[in-house]
Structure 1
Amino acid sequence: MADRPDGPWDPGLQIERTTLAWLRTTLAFIVGMLVLLRLVGHENLVAALIFAVLALPLGLAITWLVWRRHLTSERRLHARAPLPGGALPAAMTALAVLAGCTGLAYILFA
């Protein structure tokens, strides 16, 4: 069977597609946060600055986590080691909660 991979590595796992999906999700959250920050900034500049100080570094950290997860996943699949943990989904959840809080602040301050 020449079509079967030798070991757990399977090019059909599409690590690149997963990485791009994480990057698209991160970019969508960051752009959404920028729009929300602009809306909140019209009502309360201090609240907008607080959310910006929290959201933008978190977005950059998530982008770094995506690339680190991509490299780690590829190495671990070739080495037959366990895949990376859940730091990236946890960080993305934190960004989603922050986006929800920003939207709630806009509703409350408007």
Structure 2
Amino acid sequence: MNQELIDIAVERGRLIERISNQRQILARDLQPVAESLHTADRAIISVRQGAAYLKQHPEIVAVGVAVLIVVKPGRVWRWSKRGYFAWRALSALRRQLTDLGVLARQRP
């Protein structure tokens, strides 16, 4: 019985060592992915901070839109139409994905 416990302990030690090696290999192999995700996280944080700043200062958006309308009214109208149709397409896609159960239903 005592030899059986020793064998189990030795096997356990081997498994722990094997797991440790696998973790080190996995960490090394996933390093490029971690760096890419870190870059993406920084970009998302920057966009969110910019959006929050614009929400706090809507006059900047209003001045920008006014300048565009004065400088290039045709271009503004064209991009407004494109934006509207893109928004409608995205809304329809989101609605279809929700109906299929791919996206969770949004609360009102």
- What is the TM-score of this pair, normalised by structure 1? 0.29
- What is the TM-score of this pair, normalised by structure 2? 0.30
Q: Which has the higher contact order (CA 8 A, sep 6+)?
A: 1
Larger Rg: 1 or 2? Answer: 2
